[in-house]
Structure 1
Amino acid sequence: MAMTNPADLIAPRGLNFGPLGANWVHLCIDMQRMFAEKTEWHAPWMEQVMPHVVRLVEMRPERTVFTRFIPPRSADEVGGTWHRYYQRWVSMTRERLDPGLLELVPALARHVPPARVLDKPIYSPWLGSRLHGELLAAGVDTVVISGAETEVCVMAAVIGAIDLGYRVIIATDAICSSADSTHDAMEHVYDSRFGMQVETAEVGEIVEAGRP
């Protein structure tokens, strides 16, 4: 029996399904001070990708939706495994955390408005929010995704968008993680397992494709 070569399953990077089109939004995930600064959730690579994220936002600020991950006040406010999670990360609950750290990093916050902010208590921006309904009402069919972290909240945004039928474009030089190995592994998964539903491209190509 012939075996499939795993290399044959990897989609080439780039905008493989044509021009960006007119009905897109940029979903920028959790680019907040609590990940950029020296907290227990610090993602050092955020500083490196920031110029690329800024360039993507500046392309059309009014088409950007920034998400913010908002922890509970204490572990006692949440149930299930979230309770255990925030018992572990008690320093990141709102009763311990400087509230200013929940804000977007200044380089991005200055674009609000016209960009807008969506707060979420979980990884996914889709569950329990009006995001999908609002995008449908606006005729959006394509989501360009940037932000942090590649294999956590970015992944949740990507999988949700796939399930909802959006064209998904991941800006590969505008996503980051606090763990290099799992960031790299997740990028490989996007390319090798979701090639018909996810495109991966650098910001320069996306910006060029979005020019009128």
Structure 2
Amino acid sequence: MSAPGLAYGPLGDHCAHLCVDMQRLFAEPSEWATPWITRVLPRIVSLAERYPSQTIFTRFLPARSPGQGAGTWKRYYERWASMTIDRIGEEMIELLPPLAACCPPAVVVDKHIYSPWPEGHLHTLLSSRRIDTLVITGGETDVCVLATVLGAIDIGYRVVLVTDALCSSSDATHDALMTVYHQRFAQQVETVEMETVLSSWT
């Protein structure tokens, strides 16, 4: 029998919580600040603290200095020179403290682009743990979460997107992406609130 809100049944042993880019550089005053990251943080903490050994955090690592990166990423870091590691400091790439406190047993996978999949480390880790279902939280809904979700769909993971544990710096594109997830990916993405996840993961 399906759990309420979960079209394909309750969550179980082969499930992981994948938390996307909940880092200081997006929470503290900067050009990349996501104002309502603090609104969703308590919900994400509640899930990470309940299942720390099944939680994986991704971190987005900017280029070290302006103009680094391949192809259009070079232009990107010329535009966002103020957000390179040499400018913001190493400490700004760290997870937000309540989430960092879950590590270990939670683990961190670093990435240098929006998607966590091309570099291969995340998929290797999930395969070694026989994970087939991902409960996804974090930010931003319309950038790195989007890249994470689409890659997971392509690989064939069951994707459970926690709607009240996502954040973006743009309300308009957050809302637009939620509509896309509901209307265009309903066969492959289940969208539920955190209460459903906490009551359905056994």
TM-score normalised by length of structure 2: 0.96
Q: CA deviation at 1:138?
A: 1.5
CA separation in 2, counterparts of 1:139 and 1:83? 36
Q: Is contact 2:27–2:37 with CA below 8 Å preserved after alignment? A: yes
Q: CA deviation at 1:99?
A: 1.6
Moved over 4 A (4+): none
Q: Pairwise mapping of residues 162-177 of structure 1 onto structure 2 (< 5 A)?
A: 162-177=153-168
CA separation in 2, counterparts of 1:81 and 1:122? 11
Q: Is contact 1:75–1:82 with CA below 8 Å preserved after alignment? A: no
**Equivalent residue for 1:136?**
127
Q: Pairwise mapping of residues 79-98 of structure 1 onto structure 2 (< 5 A)?
A: 79-98=70-89
Q: CA RMSD in A?
A: 1.1
Q: Pairwise mapping of residues 84-123 of structure 1 onto structure 2 (< 5 A)?
A: 84-123=75-114
Q: Pairwise mapping of residues 27-46 of structure 1 onto structure 2 (< 5 A)?
A: 27-46=18-37
Q: CA deviation at 1:97?
A: 1.0
Task: Kindly tell me the number of residue pairs found equivalent between the two proteins.
Answer: 199
CA separation in 2, counterparts of 1:128 and 1:90? 24
Q: What whole-Å deviation, never above 9, does each CA across 1:141-198 have from its counterpart, x for those lacking one?
A: 1001000100000001000000000000001010000000000000010000000000
CA separation in 2, counterparts of 1:129 and 1:175? 24
CA separation in 2, counterparts of 1:22 and 1:94? 37
Amino acid in structure 1 at the alignment position of 2:57: F
Q: Is contact 2:22–2:95 with CA below 8 Å preserved after alignment? A: yes
**Equivalent residue for 2:10?**
19
CA separation in 2, counterparts of 1:149 and 1:25? 19
CA separation in 2, counterparts of 1:207 and 1:75? 42
Amino acid in structure 2 at the alignment position of 1:89: W
Aligned counterpart for 2:145 among listed residues 132, 137, 154? 154
**Equivalent residue for 2:177?**
186
Bigger Cα Rg: 1
**Equivalent residue for 1:54?**
45
SS of match in other structure, 2:160: strand
Structure 2: 5+ residue stretches without partners: none
Amino acid in structure 1 at the alignment position of 2:20: I
CA separation in 2, counterparts of 1:134 and 1:61? 15
Q: Pairwise mapping of residues 66-77 of structure 1 onto structure 2 (< 5 A)?
A: 66-77=57-68
Structure 1: 5+ residue stretches without partners: 1-12
TM-score normalised by length of structure 1: 0.91
Does residue 200 in structure 1 map to residue 191 in structure 2?
yes
Q: CA deviation at 1:134?
A: 2.1
Q: Is contact 2:64–2:85 with CA below 8 Å preserved after alignment? A: yes
CA separation in 1, counterparts of 2:183 and 2:191? 11
